[in-house]
Structure 1
Amino acid sequence: MNGARELPVTCQELRIDATYRNTNDWKKSEDVFNRFFRFADGKGINNTSGFRPKSRAGKGTDITKCAFCVLVTTFGESEFTYFGDNRSKGVPIHDTTVGGNRLLRSIYSLLHTGQRGKIPPFLCFETLKSAKGTHMRFLGLACPGAEGVSALEDLVAVWRIKGNDRFQNYRAMFTILREETVSRSWLEDLVAGTASVDSKYCPPTWSKWVSTGRYLALQCSRRIEPRSRKDQEPSTKEERMVLLRVHQGLSDREFEFAAADLVRLMDERFSDFSVTRATRDGGRDVVAEYRVGHALHQVRLEAYVEAKRWSPGSAVGVKPMMRLISRLKHRDIGVFITTSYFDAQVQRELIEDRHPVLLVSGGDVARLLLQKELGHDPALEEWLHRVRDRSGAGASGPTEGATQN
């Protein structure tokens, strides 16, 4: 369970990173998760994916009136983006079965009009499956919005693609608050109808957010460590298929043009891409600029991209990395992108010497294409075709505008 703590059935609080056994049946004594969410009203929460609202006692099942809501998700930051629960073509954005998007619309309307006291708390969990069964890891207490994010950005309706189908969904911003524990007594008060800040068990950071709008986010100070080979490679069958298509569908030269696209997809502040000549490129397959600042004033940094279309099992070592680093001047940025992975030694040297080089592995490539809705046909094949066309035309000039998602 990755060192997380599994708490006993009798626990009376949720604790950050603790895990809770989930059998999907609260009647089983070993089921900690569902038994925790059984309250005096005799009702629990559903075992659906995504949104799991808990209604107030005697107040019906309208999700917009829930006492609190469990969010099942996967992320690793104190500020995170959550997509709504519409996944089907032809279904209006607010007409989902659970009603998660109606809840999002409601809470962000309350947020934008200063009615934070009416917003239900969100309890975030991650599902962990192993040979020992399913467990739920508590990620923290969350509220909608984030520090410095405007009402134009925190909830946005976006179009997404699944296969050949297109559907509209919400993209919402949440913040994990700086609370190590959440008391079950607080949740019991919420279910009984007590306002969140009126309960004596209300977490201080939630009370502060409701009263002032200040986001006291959970601080995730993490030490930068080399990623394992497993972390850098595709983790699902879908990701493996995408990477295989890229590796087999492009030549070494064509992958250099693909690298320009991928870097642009990774961060829109990269611009003005030029793919260098096929021979004697000085260790830089793509030259670009990285913009820092705002529309009225920007600083442009030189960025150099090294692209290696290697077999998935071939590790990128120190020698090719030093070739790129030796070409970087003061205030230059490097990006090394490969269909393979980076060995531990080269990662340690980059971390210890603080070289300004971004590493993009084969798994990162696959996940990026899937995230940008380019991981399935016809979008994937069309993207590969555009890359081949540009490289076949002998283009060595700017490729700006080539990546459209």
Structure 2
Amino acid sequence: MEVKFEDLGKMDLIVDTIYKGGKNGNTGDDPLSKIFPKLGNMSGFRKVKRKDDPTKFAYCVLYTSMSELEWPDYLDEETGIFRYYGDNRKPGRLLTNTKQGGNKLLEQVFSNLNFNKNLKDIPPFFIFKKATEGRDVQFLGLAAPGNPNISPDKDLIAFWRTIGDNRFQNYESYFTILDTKDESISYDWLVALCEDYENSIEKAPEAWKKFQKNGRNGIDALKAPKIFKIPSRYEQLQCDEEGKLCIEKILKHYNDRPTEFELCATHIVSMMDRNFESFSLTRPWRDGGRDAIGYYSISTGNKANFPLKIDCALEAKCYSLNHGVGVKNMSRLISRIRYRQFGILITTSYVDSQAYKEVVEDGHPILIITASDIAYILRRNSITSDNIDGWLNSIDNSTQRNYQL
């Protein structure tokens, strides 16, 4: 569903609707400032003060392009969890000394949430992402801070980042898109939040009322389980221009020595999930369909009990984008998986439909990682086309080239 720019105004908000921007080429094209009362038209972190108490906020709008390599905001549609990075994104300022005051608000909001106090002073958050054209935006939903499945000490994390030679801190925060069911977000509620905050709860969606009453335990997430289908070649290769450049550089780096991609593959898998550990390469002439052997460690996080370690076998294929992994290679990995092991097939290319179909329909315990996934993992770990050459060289010089005998 789309709403034209000229039709924007006093309207209700509907999840996943695209609100069109203007075509004049200036800040007046911003649709958000026309949708929300008293909202400015700049920055990704926008908040509006309450009329009854200007030290507090009526609501907050979070806008993200979802494409900043250094700040990979992300919505997991299957769980409803939304990861958002704060507004201290450049060196030169203290953590909460930002122009928009976004990080300071995050501190206040998560403090109230985690101490379960003054919940009524937590403003609702409205999440938008950049749509495909111009200033168009897509409404992702009404969000509450935190999530019942995320520990209170993990939903707002301050971390260090380096740009150039300068170090600085920013926040990584976690919200939950609320399941408002068939209720739209009424414009009357938005106005009431600004003008009559104390009584605005009467016009709020039931999901927000439940959160405001029960805090973290009152969060009902909007979950959208994916309907599984065999991903197409296009989908497995799909990534942005930066991702394509990174894949091309990997292919060029290992062009004359594709077997050395195996060590790189173990690094990628470990970056994907830190629970993967202790990978050992198999010798090239003895691999038997497995390029590396490792473990996936499951732990409570406490020191009292030993973690559960599950064996895994990894097969890496450094293939060009027009050379897919076929049935023969996949069958070779499947046949070499031992009892109580699972397999990982990682490729710079894609898996052809027949091989993929056999894995899924026969229920083989194989994790498939293709070019699109590799590009995403690199982005999440701040590896770009500017620094990937150094990263690849550091892997070549790594002392971790130990072999499984």
Short-chain TM bin: 0.7 to 0.9
How many angstroms apart in 2 are the aligned matches of 1:101 and 1:339?
Answer: 38
Shift, 1:390, TM fit: 4.0
Are the counterparts in 1 of residues 27 and 41 from structure 2 also a CA contact under 8 Å? no
Unaligned runs of 5+ in 1: 399-405
Counterpart amino acid of residue 209 in structure 1:
F
How many angstroms apart in 2 are the aligned matches of 1:106 and 1:24?
Answer: 38
Which position in structure 1 is the counterpart of 2:366?
A: 357
Do structure 1's residue 182 and structure 2's residue 185 form an aligned pair?
yes
Counterpart amino acid of residue 320 in structure 2:
S
Indicate how the Cα distance of structure 1 residues 248 and 193 shifts in structure 2: closer, same or farther if over 3 A, else same: same
Deviation larger for 238-247 or 214-223: 238-247
CA deviations over 1:156-215 (Å, ceiling 9, x no partner): 10122445554321011111111142111111110113137x532111111111111221
Do structure 1's residue 289 and structure 2's residue 284 form an aligned pair?
no
User: Mapping of 1:315-354 within 5 angstroms?
Assistant: 315-354=324-363
Do structure 1's residue 17 and structure 2's residue 29 form an aligned pair?
no
How many angstroms apart in 2 are the aligned matches of 1:158 and 1:102?
Answer: 15
Do structure 1's residue 85 and structure 2's residue 79 form an aligned pair?
no
Aligned counterpart for 1:385 among listed residues 384, 393, 399: 393
Counterpart amino acid of residue 280 in structure 1:
R
CA deviations over 1:117-165 (Å, ceiling 9, x no partner): 11110011111123xx442111111011110322211111012244555
How many angstroms apart in 2 are the aligned matches of 1:28 and 1:334?
Answer: 51
User: Mapping of 1:55-204 within 5 angstroms?
Assistant: 55-57=49-51, 65-73=56-64, 74=66, 75-77=75-77, 78-114=80-116, 115-130=118-133, 133-162=134-163, 165-180=166-181, 181-195=184-198, 198-204=200-206
Indicate how the Cα distance of structure 1 residues 179 and 273 shifts in structure 2: closer, same or farther if over 3 A, else same: same
Unaligned runs of 5+ in 2: 67-74
Do structure 1's residue 248 and structure 2's residue 247 form an aligned pair?
no
SS in 1 for 2:364: coil
Aligned counterpart for 2:226 among listed residues 211, 222, 226: 222
TM-score where L is the length of structure 1: 0.85
Counterpart amino acid of residue 312 in structure 1:
L
Shift, 1:308, TM fit: 0.6
How many angstroms apart in 2 are the aligned matches of 1:247 and 1:219?
Answer: 37
Counterpart amino acid of residue 205 in structure 2:
P
Shift, 1:59, TM fit: 5.9
Shift, 1:55, TM fit: 2.9
Do structure 1's residue 46 and structure 2's residue 52 form an aligned pair?
no
Which position in structure 2 is the counterpart of 1:301?
A: 310
Counterpart amino acid of residue 47 in structure 2:
P
How many angstroms apart in 2 are the aligned matches of 1:331 and 1:341?
Answer: 26
Shift, 1:347, TM fit: 2.9
Which position in structure 2 is the counterpart of 1:366?
A: 375
Counterpart amino acid of residue 267 in structure 1:
D
Counterpart amino acid of residue 106 in structure 1:
Q
How many angstroms apart in 2 are the aligned matches of 1:357 and 1:167?
Answer: 40
CA deviations over 1:227-278 (Å, ceiling 9, x no partner): 3334333633322222222222233122101111111111111112110001
Q: Percent identity?
A: 34
Shift, 1:58, TM fit: 7.8
Supply the RMSD in Å over aligned alpha carbons: 2.8
Are the counterparts in 2 of residues 122 and 143 from structure 1 also a CA contact under 8 Å? yes
Which position in structure 2 is the counterpart of 1:395?
A: 402
Are the counterparts in 2 of residues 270 and 289 from structure 1 also a CA contact under 8 Å? yes
Indicate how the Cα distance of structure 1 residues 200 and 376 shifts in structure 2: closer, same or farther if over 3 A, else same: same
Indicate how the Cα distance of structure 1 residues 343 and 97 shifts in structure 2: closer, same or farther if over 3 A, else same: farther
Shift, 1:345, TM fit: 3.3
How many angstroms apart in 2 are the aligned matches of 1:325 and 1:152?
Answer: 40
Do structure 1's residue 261 and structure 2's residue 286 form an aligned pair?
no
How many angstroms apart in 2 are the aligned matches of 1:266 and 1:128?
Answer: 27
Which position in structure 1 is the counterpart of 2:70?
A: none
Which position in structure 2 is the counterpart of 1:403?
A: none
